[in-house]
Amino acid sequence: MSDYAVIGDWGTSNLRLFRVEAGRIVARRDGPGIGVVGREAESAFAETIAPWLEDGLPTSIRLCGMVGARDGWVEAPYADCPADADSWAEVAVRFDWRGAPLAIMAGLACTDADGIADVMRGEEAQIFGAMALDPRLATGRHLIVLPGTHSKWTLVEDGRVIRFRTVPTGELFALLRDRSTLSPNIAAADADPAEEAAGFAEGLERAGAGRLLASLFAARAMRLRAGRSADWALGYLSGLVIGCEIAEARAALAGDTGVVLIGDARLSDRYARALDAQGIASQSLDGDACARAGLGFLEN
């Protein structure tokens, strides 16, 4: 075997593999997400890692995310909350892949006070990674939020994930943007920044009243009757759904004042502005760095 290890975050949309040598990341390979390859995950993995295999097999492979879902490569179990990094790692699925030891990390599961089940896959690696990168997060009580298609509001206490709540805000926004009459089908990257920012601010203001359904149609009516632009409407819907997410999830996990955001910088910035509008302080951590730390790589 060659002297390198492979760690990777394999989500629904993307595969990110990192080659680790002597405690340093020396290369990266990207591939298709589990949502694209499904049951062909093993062959997709082999194709993505092929250039590295020319140097020999890795000493170990560790993967997290949707690779362990029912429709992924090999289904991994869920570790029940409260869970710390050790109890999470204990229930990983381990097997040999062409002679190299491979671990597919578990997800996390919890049940709220109303008996409603919730699950996550991949975000837990970022959460445990954040605590490894910043030991202050491993002591005391903290509220960690991972914005995304399915945002995760997670309560951690003394290094354990106590409970969490999933809010499908990103998925809802995409449906409203692409498949409803409320907003024109335009990408956020194509929107006029000033118009979109104005709409986002107004959406946040309307979200403060906590009336999501009653406020949605304004995205259309304000274009028809008040001269608002399509870019404004896009920002308005984003601000409205994010603002309502924060109001609802914050109430569900009451008792915490500050928030730690983990994820994409642009989306985290948007959440930071929305949190600030509701008087909530926040700090942001890079999602990829947290995932790598959760998989055992601590950058110097």
Cis-peptide, bond into residue 168, ω within 30° of zero: no
> Which tokens go with 123?
């975000």
Alpha helices in the chain (DSSP H): 34-37, 41-53, 85-90, 123-133, 169-179, 193-207, 212-216, 218-225, 230-252, 265-277, 287-294
For residue 83, the model assigns a pLDDT of 98
Specify the DSSP class assigned to residue 102: E
Q: In 3D, which of 21, 17, 26, 28 has the Cα closest to residue 1?
A: 21
The pLDDT profile of the chain, 300 residues, written as one tens digit per residue, is 579 999 999 999 999 999 999 989 999 999 999 999 988 999 999 999 999 999 999 999 999 999 999 999 999 999 999 999 999 999 999 999 999 999 999 999 999 888 999 999 999 999 999 999 999 999 999 999 999 999 999 999 999 999 999 999 999 999 999 999 897 766 666 678 999 999 999 999 999 877 899 999 999 999 999 999 999 999 999 999 999 999 888 776 655 668 999 999 999 999 999 999 988 999 999 999 999 999 998 765
Distance of CA 105 to the CA centre of its chain: 16
For residue 251, the model assigns a pLDDT of 73
C-alpha torsion sign, points 249, 250, 255, 256: positive
CB 176 within 8 A of CB 182: yes
> Which tokens go with 262?
């983990």
Which 3 state secondary structure label does DSSP give 140? coil
Convert 61-85 to b/e letters by CB count within 10 Å (16 or more is b): bbbbbbbbbeebbbebebbebbbbb
Match 């951690």 to its residue by tokens. 156
User: Residue 75: how many CA atoms within 13 Å on its side-chain side?
Assistant: 4
